[in-house]
Amino acid sequence: MTEDQRQRLRSLLAANGDGDSSAVAEICALAVAELAVSGVWVTLIAQAGTSATQQRLVRATDATATRLEELQFTVGEGPGLEAVIAGTAILAPDLAVTASRWPAFTSGAQAAGAAAVFAFPLSLGTIRLGSLDCYRTTAGQLSSRQIAAALVLAEMTFEAVLSETAGHAHNDLGWITDIHAEVHQASGMVKYDLGITMEAALLRIRGYAYANDMPVAVVAQRIVDRELFLEEE
């Protein structure tokens, strides 16, 4: 992408901003229009690829985007996680042919209405903050111009996130409002009940949610309310 194109995107962001929305929200809205996608979400991820991976959804444009992020959190796989680990864009223009890549994520994503997903890492050098993820309800590749625009939008998101993380370490996500707060609370309860680590407790909750085709947040709420007790294996 040329510098003129980069400036065009920055000008559009400045012109469309209403002063009431966060910069990340405005970038997501711009991404929907520029990339011709159905929805966009931004997730911050720390320690990707480990049992202690932390994820926080910063912004989603719609309920399906939120569901796709929750699905990645539940099954521990998906385009956003892979983009952060690999440090490169992950393009899946047709989920019908990616079952072997993310078997658990793909089936859930299709059930949610997604036919294509694309993820772009929020990174600078070795620092990787998370990903800018997109989905479409119909299969189809992004054009080279759209991919170039997505990379710039990810760059702009990285800058926006950095401005909001001033005073925090790049791997400290505790300052972000956590939509998975009850999941962490439930993990602590399972840890105490079963005498296992927090990481093992989270994996147990995720496994139960996946096996029973339930959102991990619903499983967590039932554990917190003492309506569900996970048993030892």
Helices 198-211 and 216-224 pack at an angle, to 10 degrees, of 120
Position 175 scores a pLDDT of 42
226: region left, alpha or beta (phi > 0 left; psi from -120 to 50 alpha): left
Rounded-to-integer distance, Cα 176 and Cα 137, Å: 29
* Residue of 56, 62, 7 whose CA lies nearest to 29: 62
Rounded-to-integer distance, Cα 115 and Cα 101, Å: 15
Q: How far is CA 109 from CA 35, 85, 149, 187, 226, in A?
A: 19, 20, 24, 25, 29
Rounded-to-integer distance, Cα 220 and Cα 204, Å: 11
* Residue of 116, 124, 115 whose CA lies nearest to 84: 124
Q: How far is CA 119 from CA 19, 31, 85, 130, 150, in A?
A: 27, 12, 12, 10, 9
Contact between residue 153 and residue 120 where contact means Cβ atoms under 8 Å apart: yes
Position 1 scores a pLDDT of 56
At residue 36, φ and ψ (nearest 5 deg) are: 55, 50
pTM recorded for the entire structure:
0.75
Contact between residue 121 and residue 128 where contact means Cβ atoms under 8 Å apart: yes
Position 233 scores a pLDDT of 56
From edge to edge, which strands make up the β-sheet containing 90-92? 54-60, 39-46, 127-136, 116-124, 90-92
Chunked in runs of 10, what are the mean pLDDT values of the chain (233 residues)? 75 69 86 95 75 74 92 90 93 93 93 96 84 96 94 91 61 49 76 81 80 80 84 65
| Radius of gyration, CA atoms only, the chain | 18
Position 6 scores a pLDDT of 79
